[in-house]
Amino acid sequence: MDEKQTRNKVEVRNLTKRFGDLTVLDGINFNIKEGELLAIVGPTGCGKTTFLNTLSKLMPTTEGNIYINGEEADPKKHNLAYVFQEPTCLPWRTVRENVAYGMEVKGVGKEEREDRATKIMDLVGLTSCADLYPNQVSASMMQRIAVSRAFAVNPDLLLMDEPYGQLDVKLRFYLEDELVNIWRKLNSTVLFVTHNIEEAVYVAERILVLTNKPTKIKAEIPVDLPRPRDLLNPKFIELRKEVTELIRWW
């Protein structure tokens, strides 16, 4: 077993978030291995987006914290990248300039920015539209731009909030394959939140199942399936059913 498989990149300890008397996140604890793609699923309204907002430091926690390489996570020190549900391209910038934007914010030099942007765009098929603007490309292309921009900063932790939820099934599977390809090539640490159980089993190495509010971790499911994954594989179907049963609350 290599170091990637054993070393914790991210540690979440006693993550708690309250809004007045309402407890949304209740003492959540888990680790993410270096280079792991971890999926989070849970029932509608359980607080998945609040969960991501606290992990990304967009929202303060009530108690607990997130640690990266043993240090308290700090956006000024660590690269915390976030891909939202909605495309977040800057309309006045070209595709290439959008992909490079996060690196600009982080102060990466121009030559390295251009080199990284070119490599990422090649990986996700954006090279041919590099000089176009967001209003000249499709919705799936815009989401590719957001994913590329996030990976380009070499994130310590990449948070993804249902990035393909608004796309049709065929496009979703294509982009999920693309995501797995870029994740494997760049060895990034990714936390992928989705309401789609099939998607979670398809992309993740491990799945955490959340409860209803006040939200805790109900179960941890390892996904030991070869890639590329076959939706008709009996083990795939068994895992999908297991996660579905864990989420059901009726």
The predicted-structure confidence for 95-151, as pLDDT tens digits, reads as follows 999 999 999 988 889 999 999 999 999 988 899 999 999 999 988 888 889 999 999
* String of DSSP letters for 65-92: EEEETTEE--TTTS-EEEE-SS----TT
CA 109 to chain centroid, in Å, comes to 26
Global pTM reads: 0.91
131-138 contacts, C-beta under 8 A, 24 or more apart: 131/94, 131/95, 131/96, 132/94, 132/95, 133/91, 133/92, 133/93, 133/94, 133/95, 134/87, 134/89, 134/90, 134/91, 134/93, 134/95, 134/98, 135/91, 137/95
Q: Dig out the tokens for 43 from the structure.
A: 């029932």
Mean pLDDT, range 60-76, rounded to an integer: 91
Q: Which CATH superfamily is domain 3-78+157-247 in?
A: P-loop containing nucleotide triphosphate hydrolases (3.40.50.300)
In this structure, the number of other CB atoms found within 10 A of the CB of residue 160 comes to 25
Note the pLDDT of residue 5. Answer: 56
Print burial letters for 177-192: b (CB count within 10 Å at least 16), e (below 16).
ebbbebbeebebbbbb
Mean pLDDT, range 165-188, rounded to an integer: 84
Mean pLDDT, range 11-28, rounded to an integer: 94
Report d(CA 52, CA 42) in Å as an integer: 13
3-state SS class at 95: helix
123 touches 185 (CB < 8 A): yes
132 touches 94 (CB < 8 A): yes
The predicted-structure confidence for 240-249, as pLDDT tens digits, reads as follows 999 999 987 5
3-state SS class at 238: helix
Print burial letters for 126-154: b (CB count within 10 Å at least 16), e (below 16).
beebbeebbeebeebbbbbbbbbbbbbbb
Residue entry with tokens 């990714």: 190
Mean pLDDT, range 25-43, rounded to an integer: 94
Report d(CA 54, CA 36) in Å as an integer: 20
Query: CATH 3.40.50.300: which residues of the chain?
Result: 3-78+157-247
Note the pLDDT of residue 194. Answer: 92
Beta bridge partners of 81: 158
Asked if residue 17 has pLDDT above 50, the reply is: yes
